[in-house]
Structure 1
Amino acid sequence: MHSISDSDVLRPLKSREQDGAWTARQIWRSQAVLKLWKKMDAQTRQLQDAVTNVEKHFGELCQIFAAYVRKTARLRDKADLLVNEINMYASTETPHLKQGLKNFADEFAKLQDYRQAEVERLEAKVIEPLKAYGAIVKLKRAEAELHIASTDVTRTTRHLEETIDNFEKQKIKDIKNIFSEFITIEMLFHGKALEVYTAAYQNIQKIDEDEDLEVFRNSLYPLDYPSRLDIVKANSKSPLQRSLSAKGVSGTGQVSTCRLRKDQHAEDDEDEEADFTEEEN
């Protein structure tokens, strides 16, 4: 942009002074116009600098935030693959481990739904407003060019002041809103993530290692083979329990022996009666 110099305004002034056609009032008015031109020139530069600065840094912010969102979306995709693999592996395992892994996979899949919502909100509340500043920058730059072309210096200066003020006010408000939305979205996601990971951790801790180990060991032996758990339980009985068990077995044996003896005596008596009858005949 061509800047206004003193010579641009005073050149016609000096030529008229030589002709003796300028009065003191006209000279004063010309100097006032010069000040207005300088002020307008400074304001125009300020607006252009502000627009250029926003164009540069908002563009960079938009690109980096967009990359951040893409990375988050890729993380969601990788997590979905992990969920599938965990479910496939769980189907091959022992009951408690299988259930624990499947519960973990369900919680982890739920987290990816929250991550998808995070991606969509970031795109709508952060990326799009930053993208919109491309059009805003073009509009403000066109306004600056229009003010420069205006011949009404006083009115142009006033409009430039309003334009610069409104642009700065809107920029600060938008930056505040964009970063507030970003923080809110991230806090919401991580709050949900904490809840989900807590539930997932509890599901993993509920896996009964001893029960699953017993299931695995039983799969190594025939069905009629006593399980290690039964052996351990038998060995863990107190001396009193073992004594009572032994007495019970012994008593049962004695009863059976007595019955056998009675039966034997009855049979002997029958044989003796049969022999006595034959002798009489």
Structure 2
Amino acid sequence: MFRGDNSHSLSYEQQAKFIQDRITNVEKNFGELCVAFGDYARKTARLRDMGDELSKVLKDYSSNEIVNKSLSSGLDNLSITLTAIEEYRNCEVQRLEAKVVGELCQYETICKHAREELKHTMNVREKELARKKVLDKARERQPFNRQQVTYAESELLKASAEMSRTAKGLSEQTEFFERRKLQQLKSLLSDFIMIEMTFHGKAVELLTVAYQQVKDINDKADLEHFRRKLRSPEKQISTGISARSSSLASLMNQSSPLRDEEDAMRSSRRIKSPEKNLGRSSSLAALMNHSPTKEDETATESEESGDQETSDDTESR
């Protein structure tokens, strides 16, 4: 490359143009690849953020759900699984940025250096051509001035030697540039595919777990539990019973003159008819557990009237 006689000067120009076109082509294509993979990584990162937000919403729903226990547990497990998927997606984003986008971004500098190397080679080539023209003029105008002709020849030899070294270095640099481009592009694409395969493999495993977690939600049991809650809320029932019991106890503990007189009469009756008093005690226990009804009040009044008549008969006798 860049070697030959004057008749091959057109070949030098063609070679330089070919190298220039290759550098420009690589710079353009790798730049577009860098932008495309960068957009891909950024959109994947946004998808990761949206997945984290979805996991948070599922977690909040699980915390707020107090009736459907199976649904609450399923949502909590699904939230944890989706969070794990987004952790793997975060690793995917980091690897894409480091192994793909980062490597592609370096080619802007690599192409710049290659273009500078080509420009330096062309400058050396122009210097060699200039020395060649000086020698030709010296030979034409002063063919017998050996000193000037010899000096022009020595300068041309120096320029040719420098051109030879520069051309050889450029040839090696160009070949290295092309070889590295092929190897790195192959490696970048392989890394991209492996990164995606690794993520999607883990995602399939975790999504299988997530599917089973959703299948484990017992909607029938949750619906039955909801129906029981709808028919008789447990908290309201227990609160009502305790309130009634406390009210009844407070009523039973109140003291009044009428209550004292009734106690005195009942103590006198207790001596006469202990069996009836025993039955009344049992009815009092029942009264503690149940609220009085109209039938109970009627029966109580009839018994008291019967006891009163028995007492009157005894006194008259």
- The answer to whether structure 1 residue 138 and structure 2 residue 148 are counterparts is no
- Equivalent residue, structure 2, for 1:197: 207
- Equivalent residue, structure 2, for 1:113: 87
Cα deviation digits, residues 170-215 of structure 1 (max 9, x gap):
1101100111110010000000000110000000101112211111
- Structure 1 residues 208 and 99: CA distance shift in structure 2, 3 A: same
Cα deviation digits, residues 134-158 of structure 1 (max 9, x gap):
1101100000011011133444443
Cα shift at 1:160: 3.3
The count of residues paired between Structure 1 and Structure 2 equals 195
- Equivalent residue, structure 2, for 1:206: 216
Contact 1:51–1:141, Cα closer than 8 Å, also in 2? yes
Contact 1:39–1:157, Cα closer than 8 Å, also in 2? no
Contact 1:43–1:160, Cα closer than 8 Å, also in 2? no
Say which of 27, 49, 52 aligns to 1:80.
Answer: 52
Identity across aligned pairs (percent)? 41
Q: Helix, strand or coil: the match of 1:187?
A: helix
Which aligned segments of 4 or more residues in structure 1 are displaced greater than 4 angstroms? none
- The answer to whether structure 1 residue 179 and structure 2 residue 189 are counterparts is yes
Contact 1:72–1:119, Cα closer than 8 Å, also in 2? yes
Contact 1:76–1:112, Cα closer than 8 Å, also in 2? yes
Cα shift at 1:127: 0.5
Determine the C-alpha separation between the residues in 1 that align with 2:56 and 2:233. 34
AA of the residue aligned to 1:197: L
- Root-mean-square deviation (CA, aligned residues, Å) is 2.0
Contact 1:90–1:102, Cα closer than 8 Å, also in 2? yes
- The answer to whether structure 1 residue 58 and structure 2 residue 22 are counterparts is no
Q: Which runs of 5+ in 1 are unaligned?
A: 5-31, 225-281
Say which of 128, 135, 148 aligns to 2:102.
Answer: 128
- Equivalent residue, structure 2, for 1:246: none
AA of the residue aligned to 1:107: T
Q: Helix, strand or coil: the match of 1:219?
A: helix
- Equivalent residue, structure 2, for 1:252: none
- Structure 1 residues 210 and 96: CA distance shift in structure 2, 3 A: same
Cα deviation digits, residues 62-113 of structure 1 (max 9, x gap):
1111111110111111111111111111223311011011101100000000
Determine the C-alpha separation between the residues in 1 that align with 2:170 and 2:63. 71
Q: Which runs of 5+ in 2 are unaligned?
A: 129-159, 235-317
AA of the residue aligned to 1:187: M
TM-score (normalizing by structure 2): 0.58
Determine the C-alpha separation between the residues in 1 that align with 2:200 and 2:57. 24
AA of the residue aligned to 2:107: Y
Determine the C-alpha separation between the residues in 1 that align with 2:172 and 2:233. 91
Within 5 A, what are the aligned runs for 1:1-281? 33-93=5-65, 94-150=68-124, 151=128, 152=160, 153-222=163-232
AA of the residue aligned to 1:78: M
